[in-house]
Structure 1
Amino acid sequence: MANHKSAEKRSRQSKVRRLRNRMNKSAMKTVIRRVEEALAAGSEEDAKAALQVAIPIIQKTASKGTIHRNTASRKVSRLTKRVQAMQPLV
């Protein structure tokens, strides 16, 4: 347990930040799971719609510092690539 006033404040701050990060990361994982479920179902329209919802949430999670920006880019890129693979080439 913290013994100094500044250490007690640090403890409170880290608890709030941990909960905030967990909330953001959980929301991100949920939208990614929805995209993957649409891909598994083979529904191209649902996958596109879910991806359009997922991209801003993934980017917002990175902008808050919960995940690294390169990690966010990688996740968006891989999801986009999988959704695009569902479309027949014209």
Structure 2
Amino acid sequence: MANSPSSKKRARQAERRTEVNKARRSRIRTFLRKVEEAITGGDQAAAAEALKSAQPEVMRGVTKGVLHKNTASRKISRLSSRVKAMGA
């Protein structure tokens, strides 16, 4: 348990950050799920559009420290290759 005033403040800050990061992660997952649903639905145009809107959201997660850069790049790369394969 936090005892000093500074450690109590840090605990409060960590709590707030956790909430913000949780919301951000949830938002990113929602965008990725929309791409997945469009891919499974077989609609390439919708999947491409969903991917286009998901990309900046995922990369914003990187700049905010929610995701690692390589993780985000891997997710985007795999989704884009799946969307691309739908046209073939």
TM-score category (smaller protein): over 0.9
Count matched residues. 88
Residue 20 of structure 1 deviates from its aligned partner by 1.0
- For residue 29 of structure 1, what is the aligned residue in structure 2? 29
- For residue 73 of structure 1, what is the aligned residue in structure 2? 73
- For residue 82 of structure 1, what is the aligned residue in structure 2? 82
- For residue 64 of structure 1, what is the aligned residue in structure 2? 64
What is the CA–CA distance in structure 2 between the aligned matches of 1:52 and 1:80, rounded to whole Å? 9
Residue 16 of structure 1 deviates from its aligned partner by 1.0
What value does the CA root-mean-square deviation take over the aligned residues?
A: 0.7
What is the CA–CA distance in structure 1 between the aligned matches of 2:13 and 2:69, rounded to whole Å? 23
Residue 24 of structure 1 deviates from its aligned partner by 0.8
What is the CA–CA distance in structure 2 between the aligned matches of 1:79 and 1:25, rounded to whole Å? 18
Identity %: 44
Residue 8 of structure 1 aligns to a residue in which SS?
A: helix
- For residue 11 of structure 1, what is the aligned residue in structure 2? 11
Residue 7 of structure 2 aligns to a residue in which SS?
A: helix
State the TM-score, normalized to the length of structure 1.
0.94
Residue 66 of structure 1 aligns to a residue in which SS?
A: coil
Kindly provide the CA deviation profile for residues 15-41 of structure 1, in whole angstroms up to 9, marking residues without a partner as x: 111111111110000000000000010
Q: Which runs of 5+ in 1 are unaligned?
A: none
Post-superposition, which runs of at least 4 consecutive aligned residues in structure 1 deviate over 2 A? none
- For residue 43 of structure 1, what is the aligned residue in structure 2? 43
